[in-house]
Amino acid sequence: MALRMGHRTTLAIPLMREGEAIGAILIRRMEVRAFSNRQIELVETFAAQAVIAIENTRLLNELRQRTGDLSESLDQQTATSEVLRVISSSPGEVEPVFQAILENATRICQARFGTLYLRDSDAFRAVATHNAPAAYVEARKRNLVRPPPDSALGQLFNTHQVVQIADITAVKSYIDGDPYLVDAVKLGAIARSSPFRCSRTKC
């Protein structure tokens, strides 16, 4: 490194935090000439200031994280309260409840749109959508949906567990041209991060 860059004298000052070196400041001279004690003390001061800046940034990031967590928790509680309000104000009606659930879930998860399916024998029926493209809604509500086993809905059907697919276009059934997945991507512009949840009794 000295041969390539041409420097000769090097000064290394540690960035110390709670007795541990978390980094260093290195300064170099191109000639053989030692740094003076005054110069070393100055760089040590800069090193201490760098540690203060790093620590302040860390504390600020932690504060922002806690604030973000509190805000997210409040959003979730508000959404839950909204759904409960709709349930209590719409006795015997499921459609307003489905819409409230989809609207809040889509918003909180920062998703583009949502669909709620109910199981119908060995298939699924789309009973509610939120913010979905018209062509997608028409296609999904026209007929019962029988998803392939490796789709999110298909895996959910078999496992009764939460399923998330990072990229639908990488699924074998999509590659093989399965209409359910091809239409999902084509009509709904779905490709990445497609989560589904299922209860023990209803999907």
Kindly tell me if the per-residue pLDDT of 1 is higher than 90. no
Kindly tell me if the per-residue pLDDT of 203 is higher than 60. no
Q: Say what the pLDDT of residue 171 is.
A: 92
Per-residue pLDDT, averaged over 168-187, amounts to: 90
Q: Say what the pLDDT of residue 173 is.
A: 93
Kindly tell me if the per-residue pLDDT of 57 is higher than 80. yes
Residues 6+ apart with CB under 8 A from 99: 128, 130
Contact 115, 128 (CB under 8 A): yes
Structural domains in the chain, CATH included, are 2-60 (3.30.450.40), 114-196 (no CATH)
Per-residue pLDDT, averaged over 55-80, amounts to: 78
Per-residue pLDDT, averaged over 41-58, amounts to: 90
Kindly tell me if the per-residue pLDDT of 43 is higher than 70. yes
Report the C-alpha gap between 196 and 155 in whole angstroms: 9
Residues 6+ apart with CB under 8 A from 171: 150, 151, 165, 181
The share of the chain scoring above pLDDT 70, in percent, equals 92
Name the pLDDT band for 191 (thresholds 50, 70, 90): low
For residue range 133-165, what is the model confidence (pLDDT) as tens digits? 888 888 888 888 899 999 998 999 889 899 999
Kindly tell me if the per-residue pLDDT of 80 is higher than 80. no
